[in-house]
């Protein structure tokens, strides 16, 4: 049974060959226009990302991360900012940076039916305690201080 108002459904009409060609031609022309517009927007985004960093503090940050002067661009500053946010615990930033290099963290944890709620609570408590007491146990290196931004 179709959804909506069945009285408003128009029966499929077979179009003449000429009408079908005209409509197909119009669709193809519009498709090309849309494709060119998307390509132009993509080109503008690439130019902005490859441009010079307008904020001096962002330049300093990227330099401190060890990038050569030739690589100082907006894209590098964005990635550097996301990497620092990830080191501070922002999981979305971590997913973004890891996704750029093709490493995606697993969001799913396989839990067998045999594990009790107490076992899971104990596991999460241990991870939480380790993160609060000494974050370097979780990360190999500590995040740079906040004033470097």
Q: Is 11 left (phi over 0), alpha (psi -120 to 50) or beta?
A: beta
Residues of the chain with pLDDT under 50: 140-143, 148-149
Q: Is pTM, for the whole model, over 0.75? A: no
Query: What is the tens place of the pLDDT at every residue in 65-87?
Result: 888 878 888 888 888 888 888 88
**For residue 12, what are its two tokens?**
């499929």
Alpha helices in 51-149 (DSSP H): 56-64, 74-87, 91-100, 117-133
Query: What is the tens place of the pLDDT at every residue in 18-32?
Result: 888 888 888 899 999
**For residue 89, what are its two tokens?**
């615990």
- pLDDT at position 125, please? 78
- pLDDT at position 65, please? 82
Does an H or E element contain 48, and which? helix 17-50
C-alpha–C-alpha distance, residues 32 and 85, integer Å: 40
Q: b vs e for 14-32, b when ≥16 Cβ sit within 10 Å of the residue's Cβ? A: eeeeeeeeeeeeeeeeeee
C-alpha–C-alpha distance, residues 85 and 77, integer Å: 12
Only one residue has tokens 């931004």, namely 149
CB 105 within 8 A of CB 98: yes
What percent of the chain lies above the pLDDT cut of 70? 72
């Amino acid at each position: 049974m179709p959804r909506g108002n069945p009285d408003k459904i128009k029966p499929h009409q077979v179009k003449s060959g000429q009408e079908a060609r005209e409509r197909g031609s119009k669709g193809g022309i519009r498709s090309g226009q849309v494709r060119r517009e998307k390509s132009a927007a993509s080109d503008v985004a690439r130019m902005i990302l490859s441009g010079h960093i307008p904020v001096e503090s962002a330049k300093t940050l990227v330099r401190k991360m060890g990038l050569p002067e030739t690589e100082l661009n907006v894209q590098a500053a964005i990635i550097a900012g996301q990497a620092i946010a990830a080191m501070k615990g922002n999981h979305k930033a971590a997913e973004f940076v890891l996704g750029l290099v093709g490493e995606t963290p697993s969001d799913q944890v396989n839990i067998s039916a045999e594990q009790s709620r107490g076992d899971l609570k104990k596991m999460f408590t241990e991870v939480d305690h380790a993160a609060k007491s000494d974050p370097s146990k979780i990360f190999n290196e500590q995040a740079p201080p906040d004033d470097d931004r």
